[in-house]
Amino acid sequence: MRLSKLVRPRLLLAGTVALSLAVGAMGTASAFEKRVKWKMQSAFGSTLVHLGPAGVRFAEKVGEMSSGRFQIKFFEPGALVPALECFDALSKGSIESCWTADGYHAGKIPAVMFFTTVPFGPQLGEFLAWKWHGGGNAMRDEIYAKHNLKAYDGFCIGPETSGWFKEPIKDLEELKGMKMRFYGLGARVMQKFGVSTQLLAGADIYPALERGVIDATEFSMPSIDIKLGFYQIAKNNYFPGWHQQVSCSQVLMNKAAHDALPKAYQAMVWTSATAQTIYTYAESEASNFGAMKTMASKYGVTTHRWPDSTLAKFEKAWFEVIAEDSAKNPLFKKVADHYLAFRKNYKVWADAQSMKATYQE
């Protein structure tokens, strides 16, 4: 029985569509056929609220999106390399990724501290505007590529406290000679007031404070600091966190390993990291007031606010640091100038939106 001229083209079309769908399905499946296993060293313990769990979630979400074919194993601080020393291990390809922060690589490249947090800097919206759309992260990509590294923002958290002290600070002269754990560009400011600063991983701070290796510390925000127990030794907690108004950390990767991933897997890494950036910020903002109440009522912590005159001195010192470090380091100057230029332009929008509340309950 011969097919009519009308039926034959329909069958041919149906066959073509079916073949196209089959080839498309095979192409989609092939993107997930490659099984990849990565090691990810974290600078933050998995139980350290916000910071560590964000890394665990990041790895889990990549596994879920890839149906388990792309697995990233989270390793606790120090399990593979020292907590703050991922840079070289990643650059050489000894491990594939780290859950860390740009500021921890300051000993290698001081300019990268700008990509985590900046003293007297912006809140989250303005900071991510510079990083994501204003060219900030493009500069970071350029810097890291020279070291065979690739980074995505991994999580952000809100304003921090600016220090735990054993005694109230009545005058900035009292800071002179003090040994203090301090992070990032803010440490350079504190040094101008005679503070001897050092960078310690979160888990190392309490023992150093207890043994007198340091006299005071800052680390993060109340909901995190309460877990580390600083209040047991230092009962005076100072605000605002002028040195870290927002802090964005990263998943830092060996660039060759990242570039070798199927495009679908690269997209999963970016998507999961970006999700943690926003999720963790909101999570941290929802928890600090409760921690502050607990520390005050249960542990006898006194919350202090630096006088405006003191904050003005810190800010003046910060701009001195920019000038001094820019004169010594061309890359530092390049990043600082770029950041400051964006802030100047953004100010047009910020000023138009600023308002002061007048209602009092």
- Given a cut of 70, is residue 195 above it in pLDDT? yes
What pLDDT shows up at residue 83?
A: 87
Average pLDDT taken over every residue of the chain: 92
Which pair of tokens denotes residue 183? 């992070």
The pLDDT-based confidence of 10 (bands split at 50, 70, 90) is very low
CATH 3.40.190.170 positions along the chain are 36-157+248-285
The string of pLDDT tens digits covering residues 311-356 is 999 999 999 999 999 999 999 999 999 999 999 999 999 999 988 7
What is the rounded average pLDDT of the residues 38-67? 97
The correct answer on CATH 3.40.190.170 for the domain covering 36-157+248-285 is yes
Helix, strand or coil, per DSSP, at residue 253: strand
Please count the other Cβ atoms lying within 10 Å of the Cβ belonging to residue 51: 27
What tens digit of pLDDT does each residue of 224-254 get? Answer: 999 999 999 999 999 999 999 999 999 999 9
115 contacts: CB under 8 Å, gap ≥ 6: 102, 131, 136, 137, 140, 248, 250
pLDDT of residue 7: 40
Q: What pLDDT, in 10s, does the model give residues 117-170?
A: 999 999 999 999 999 999 999 999 999 999 999 999 999 999 999 999 999 999
At 302, give phi and psi (nearest 5°): -100, 125
For the domain made up of 163-244+287-343, the CATH class stated in words is alpha beta
Residue ranges, CATH 3.40.190.10, the chain:
163-244+287-343
